[in-house]
Chain A
Amino acid sequence: MLRRVKTDTSKNSLFASLSVTAIGAVICAAGLWACEGEKQSAPVAETLATKSQPWFEEISDRANLKFAHESGHVERNYFPEIMAGGAALFDMDGDGDLDIYLVQSSSLTNPPEERAPNRLYKNQGDGTFIDVTQGSGADDRGYGMGVATGDYDNDGDVDLYITNVQENVLLANDGTGIFTDVTSQAGVGNTSWSTSAAFVDIDLDGDLDLFVANYVHWNLNDDVACRSNSGELDYCSPNSYDAPIPDVLYLNNGDGTFTDISLQAGFRSAFGNGLGVVCGDVDGNGLPDIFVANDQMPNQLWINIDGKSFEDQAMLYGCAVDQNGDAKAGMGTTAIDYDDDGDLDLFVVNLQSEPDTLYRNQGSYFTDDTSAVGLGSISQRYTRFGTSITDFDNDGWLDIFTANGRVTSSTDLQGEQQDAYAELNLLLSGDAAGRFTQVTPAGGTVEKIIKTSRAAVFGDIDNDGSIDILVVNRDAQVSLLHNIAPGKGDWIIFRVVDEHNRDAIGATVQISLGQRRISREVRSAYSYCAANDPRVHFGLGSISQITEVSVRWIDGTVESFGQFTANQITTLKRNRGL
């Protein structure tokens, strides 16, 4: 049933494509030289036929989103320049649509006052955004990496935590999109080079704690000049520094302040070059665990023992290294129940020549399902950063997007672009069997976008029921990818809020579609240096009636909200169900 929308479309397209291919092939047979321009060989025809229409159009200009990330690169290759670029999609003023926060980096050598600031854009509800940075208090000028969103003070609005190469910043929202820097009072000014961060209620006490991934000890005085094998100056790998920094866990004291409990909680017992963070209850004990994707070091899976102490059990669970036993270059990461078995699976994207890793949760350990779902070969061509496993075409089956860009220069330039780090992004379509195939046109966009992409942020910007993507590109304008996937199915989106009227981060929404049960968590922190739309989206295919919706709140209470019809955005508020 769920496949109907896509299947019908596929049949028609397949017929048309086969006819075209056959005719083309006869012409080619007359002179092979003429065929050189053809990029696809015959075996690809079926893939082309089923996936040959773009799923996204790039609309940043149309949306008046002119922001261009600046790495600050001039001559010398300073390490952070190749890693930076974060963003958030969040509703800053409670008007029901997603606004945008873009983290700027600018120059590492200039003092902060001479750097370009981060930017805040308000969604005007008409498909355009307006820059409201001035006077908003959100114009931090640290050398920015990423951002986390969450209502840390339970006042009903979304606050921002910005990760920088130097001191991080906590900005408290007054509910209208005016922010105050409360870093010092709150005690969360981590000064290490931070990357991704996540607000998460680790002790289930009703307020959001804060986990911050740190990358490498680096400062201008210790910058290492690295070269490629052929002797060209290039960016370093973290191994050139061999200086991983422990991650930090701040416990929310409930009074606007936090306490750094990293040591007591066990986070000093293992650490790596942290880049990606995702939180969720991996072991099913009711407490949120924390997964950190480390760059060229084993990943950590911090199992939450009792709300106050954690143990790194990544090796035991089988998600520290890949199926070859290698510690890969973990960049972005996400967690989702991709096989509908009720537990959280993990996904990590990596460097060129290293396949993505899809860790399938088997209860007390993970199996590496990367090859089994068809991801082993597709992903290796690129260096992937921002990512999500999301049902972009609402057919009921999860798809994958990765934002790509190299970290070392390449002579293997793609197309006409001059950026030696630029690569195509990757869009993979998932099917009912759980396998993924590449969508063409490559990257899924009307026109090829070849940039050095870092954060990819996911959310329904126009509230039309399909997930759009904001991609931050190094030294280039952002890409705002509006979802125009062909033959989209039905959908439903839930905003899930707790008794404080804040997004119930960590709660799980389960829907019943006949015999099928689908679970998704309320989560904003995943991908790379990104804060995403925390609303829970389900693609429904052709099903227009959901027989049951329930929410498992973070304290374990399950609340039923009954039946829903498709194609609506609705709020599930705690204690308003059955």
Chain B
Amino acid sequence: MKKAFTISIALGAGAIIIAAGALWLTKDDKLPSTTATPSPLSPPVPDDLSKYDPALVDVIHQAAQRVRDIPNDSEMRLQLGMVYEANGIYPLAEQTYRQHLDLNPEDARVWYRLAIVYEKVGRLEKSIQAIGHAAEFNNKYAPIQWRLGLWLFDAGRIDEAYNAFARATEIDLEEPAGWYGLARIALARNQPQHAIEIIDAHLLQGNVAPRGYQLLGRAHSLLGNSEKAKAAFAHTTTGKLHWRDPWTTEAMTFQTGVTAKRTLAARYILQRNFQKAIPILEDLIKDKPEELTLLSQLSSAYIEIGQPRRGKAILDEAWQTNRDSFQINYALAKVIVRTPNVSQQELDQALMYVNRAIDSNSSSSLAFTAKAMIQFRRNRPDSSITAFKHAFELDSRRTDQLVNAGFLECNLKLYSDACVTFETAISHSPNLADAYVGSAKALTELGKYDEARSALLRAQELGSANRSRLADALNRLNQLQPTGAPNAPPR
């Protein structure tokens, strides 16, 4: 009786294992389909292509046809999968990659892509399973390991994550993602000193440095060194970090259509390569002449390459149908104020535009900055000062606007007001060299020579002041109080 019971338990357990294993490949594990797949080798295509970008539809047709032509060529199928993945059609990417794996179950690159598709739709456990297969079939590609580490870390499997990150660094000693992961694990294990060692050795150079400093700040926080933590955090940025991953870079080259063009244009703009951005933007605008963002970007690009009037012409046309748009009004005001040799009439027009922009968004610091610049060029220093100060009030990170206001106050001989303005700027941005220069200038005129010299010395120490302003302030101080002058500013 006891033996029979044991056998039945064993059978039951075995059946559970078989069933559990089989479930990995059942349809319930897959992303819901957007189409019916007629046969295992027939490439999946969307039921309704009309909603997609026409350029993308062409690419899908071509890629799917290549699969139909050579159904056993796994490379063609991989390409189709990457078309779907790069363009956000994840259920079909999953189906295509699975088809590929039916033909070639040991292709690490496709397991890897499948893992990333699962990550895109938030199915972390399935990502981990798939990337585990990728790791099985390729032990030389570091991104497999650091991604596995990232996901295991998210899943709370810290020891396994540690091993994965460590393997990534073994594969490629220069690979920062692995070291980054190891430093994070050290922090999670409350080993800040160990984290600092890793960070110091591997994460404070190149484009990874801002993130390295962020980890460093956290390590110092854990150690209770708040000053060191603050100093480290001052070097950080918070944009998305992209680690080197050639397979994924290749997959993203399959991005097609409007999104791809937009991405490329944005990349060129970020790189300040406006010459290359302009034709792409013009091409995009052909299809979407009403899209203000594109028009604004194109206009800015023309301004940047020294053709502000051409930039303005684009905006003028857009303004005819979008007279209340903040974006267009602000862009028009900006383009005029940045154009050399504009007439008084054009400046009046710029003021009208910026006031309309402010009517639309009275909390925009940028709009008030533009207004201040316009008023300055219209020779209305009082109004300019008010606008600069209001720009700062709306966004107190913009202490540069207070400095502008302070120098204008000096021009108007309002030295006491200027002192207050520069002091406020310094209190918000203690390392803003121009604020010290301005303060010195105002203090000199008020006869407070020693304080002025201290301020100039501080500006020199900081080393980032506008050279001509610094020289002017120093000369004026030396003129009024010739003795004990600090060293001349470096050229």
* Beta-carbon contact of A231 and B51 below 8 Å: yes
A39 to B27, CA, bound (A): 10
A-B contact pairs, 16 of them (CB 8 A): A26-B15, A36-B26, A39-B28, A41-B24, A217-B326, A217-B363, A224-B293, A229-B88, A231-B56, A231-B259, A352-B121, A371-B158, A377-B124, A412-B32, A412-B90, A413-B32
0/1 string, B109-132, CB within 8 A of A gives 1? 000000000011111110000000
* Beta-carbon contact of A42 and B89 below 8 Å: no
Near B by CB (< 8 A), chain A positions 101-135 give: none
* Beta-carbon contact of B238 and A325 below 8 Å: yes
The one of B19, B119, B230 that contacts A35, using a Cβ cutoff of 8 Å: B19
- B153 contacts partner chain A, Cβ-Cβ < 8 Å: yes
* Beta-carbon contact of A269 and B158 below 8 Å: no
* Beta-carbon contact of B121 and A381 below 8 Å: yes
- B248 contacts partner chain A, Cβ-Cβ < 8 Å: no
Additional pairs, 6, CB under 8 Å, beyond known A22-B16, A231-B52, A232-B51:
A29-B15, A225-B291, A228-B259, A246-B394, A325-B215, A381-B122
* Beta-carbon contact of B211 and A325 below 8 Å: yes
* Interface residues on chain B, size class: 35 or more
Near B by CB (< 8 A), chain A positions 15-43 give: 21-26, 28-29, 32, 35-39, 41-43
- A221 contacts partner chain B, Cβ-Cβ < 8 Å: yes
Please give the number of chain A residues whose Cβ is less than 8 angstroms from any Cβ of chain B in the complex.
76
A412 to B240, CA, bound (A): 25
* Beta-carbon contact of A219 and B360 below 8 Å: yes
A316 to B230, CA, bound (A): 6
* Beta-carbon contact of A376 and B124 below 8 Å: yes
- A192 contacts partner chain B, Cβ-Cβ < 8 Å: yes
* Beta-carbon contact of B360 and A365 below 8 Å: no
Near A by CB (< 8 A), chain B positions 275-311 give: 288, 290-293
- B439 contacts partner chain A, Cβ-Cβ < 8 Å: no
A297 to B218, CA, bound (A): 19
Q: A42-B17, A221-B325, A324-B150 are contacts. A315–B236 as well, Cβ < 8 Å? A: yes
0/1 string, B23-57, CB within 8 A of A gives 1? 11011100110100000000000000001111110
* Beta-carbon contact of A222 and B360 below 8 Å: yes
* Beta-carbon contact of A230 and B155 below 8 Å: no
- B396 contacts partner chain A, Cβ-Cβ < 8 Å: yes
Contacts of A232 in B (CB 8 A): 51-52
* Beta-carbon contact of A25 and B288 below 8 Å: no
Contacts of A367 in B (CB 8 A): 187-188, 222
* Beta-carbon contact of A38 and B19 below 8 Å: yes
Contacts of A327 in B (CB 8 A): 238-239
- A169 contacts partner chain B, Cβ-Cβ < 8 Å: no
* Beta-carbon contact of B19 and A42 below 8 Å: yes
- A547 contacts partner chain B, Cβ-Cβ < 8 Å: no
- A557 contacts partner chain B, Cβ-Cβ < 8 Å: no
The one of B87, B214, B428 that contacts A269, using a Cβ cutoff of 8 Å: B428
- A263 contacts partner chain B, Cβ-Cβ < 8 Å: yes
- Interface-central residue, B31, B51, B211, by most chain A CB under 10 Å: B51
* Beta-carbon contact of A263 and B393 below 8 Å: yes
* Beta-carbon contact of B89 and A411 below 8 Å: yes
* Beta-carbon contact of A365 and B222 below 8 Å: yes
CB-CB nearest in chain A for B362: A191
- B324 contacts partner chain A, Cβ-Cβ < 8 Å: yes
Near B by CB (< 8 A), chain A positions 200-221 give: 217, 219, 221
Q: A22-B16, A25-B19, A222-B360 are contacts. A376–B156 as well, Cβ < 8 Å? A: yes
A529 CB → nearest B CB, Å: 20
- A270 contacts partner chain B, Cβ-Cβ < 8 Å: yes
* Beta-carbon contact of A316 and B226 below 8 Å: yes
* Beta-carbon contact of B119 and A353 below 8 Å: yes
Contacts of B325 in A (CB 8 A): 221-222
0/1 string, A261-277, CB within 8 A of B gives 1? 00100101111000000
A151 to B175, CA, bound (A): 57
- B322 contacts partner chain A, Cβ-Cβ < 8 Å: yes
The prevalent SS among residues of B at the interface is helix
A364 to B229, CA, bound (A): 12
* Beta-carbon contact of A32 and B238 below 8 Å: no
Contacts of A229 in B (CB 8 A): 86-88, 255, 259
The one of A191, A222, A321 that contacts B327, using a Cβ cutoff of 8 Å: A222
Q: A325-B214, A371-B158, A382-B122 are contacts. A245–B56 as well, Cβ < 8 Å? A: no
Contacts of A371 in B (CB 8 A): 153-156, 158, 188
* Beta-carbon contact of B258 and A227 below 8 Å: yes
- A298 contacts partner chain B, Cβ-Cβ < 8 Å: yes
Contacts of A42 in B (CB 8 A): 16-17, 19-20
- A309 contacts partner chain B, Cβ-Cβ < 8 Å: no
Contacts of B202 in A (CB 8 A): none
Closest 8 CB pairs of A and B: A231-B53, A229-B88, A376-B154, A22-B12, A380-B122, A377-B124, A25-B15, A381-B122
Contacts of A325 in B (CB 8 A): 211, 214-215, 236, 238, 241
- B395 contacts partner chain A, Cβ-Cβ < 8 Å: yes
A334 to B388, CA, bound (A): 38
The one of A221, A240, A316 that contacts B293, using a Cβ cutoff of 8 Å: A240
- A489 contacts partner chain B, Cβ-Cβ < 8 Å: no
* Beta-carbon contact of A365 and B221 below 8 Å: yes
* Beta-carbon contact of A25 and B395 below 8 Å: no
Q: A36-B26, A219-B326 are contacts. A353–B88 as well, Cβ < 8 Å? A: no
- B339 contacts partner chain A, Cβ-Cβ < 8 Å: no
Near B by CB (< 8 A), chain A positions 77-102 give: none
A149 to B364, CA, bound (A): 29
- A341 contacts partner chain B, Cβ-Cβ < 8 Å: no
A330 to B120, CA, bound (A): 18
CB-CB nearest in chain A for B55: A231
Contacts of A150 in B (CB 8 A): none
Contacts of B236 in A (CB 8 A): 315, 325
- A374 contacts partner chain B, Cβ-Cβ < 8 Å: yes
A340 CB → nearest B CB, Å: 19
Q: A245-B363, A269-B428, A365-B222 are contacts. A222–B326 as well, Cβ < 8 Å? A: yes
* Beta-carbon contact of B238 and A230 below 8 Å: no
Contacts of A217 in B (CB 8 A): 326, 361, 363-364
- B4 contacts partner chain A, Cβ-Cβ < 8 Å: no
B164 CB → nearest A CB, Å: 14
* Beta-carbon contact of B125 and A377 below 8 Å: yes
Contacts of B26 in A (CB 8 A): 35-36
CB-CB nearest in chain B for A321: B238
Contacts of A414 in B (CB 8 A): 32
Q: A355-B154, A411-B32 are contacts. A263–B88 as well, Cβ < 8 Å? A: no
CB-CB nearest in chain A for B218: A318
A225 to B290, CA, bound (A): 9
Near B by CB (< 8 A), chain A positions 309-340 give: 315-318, 320-321, 323-327
* Beta-carbon contact of A41 and B258 below 8 Å: no
B221 CB → nearest A CB, Å: 4
A32 CB → nearest B CB, Å: 5
A42 to B224, CA, bound (A): 46
CB-CB nearest in chain A for B150: A324
- B270 contacts partner chain A, Cβ-Cβ < 8 Å: no
B22 CB → nearest A CB, Å: 5
Contacts of A318 in B (CB 8 A): 218, 221
Contacts of B211 in A (CB 8 A): 325
CB-CB nearest in chain B for A298: B238
* Beta-carbon contact of B11 and A26 below 8 Å: yes
* Beta-carbon contact of A412 and B121 below 8 Å: yes
* Beta-carbon contact of B188 and A323 below 8 Å: yes
- A432 contacts partner chain B, Cβ-Cβ < 8 Å: no
Contacts of A228 in B (CB 8 A): 88, 259
A364 to B257, CA, bound (A): 49
Contacts of A362 in B (CB 8 A): 222
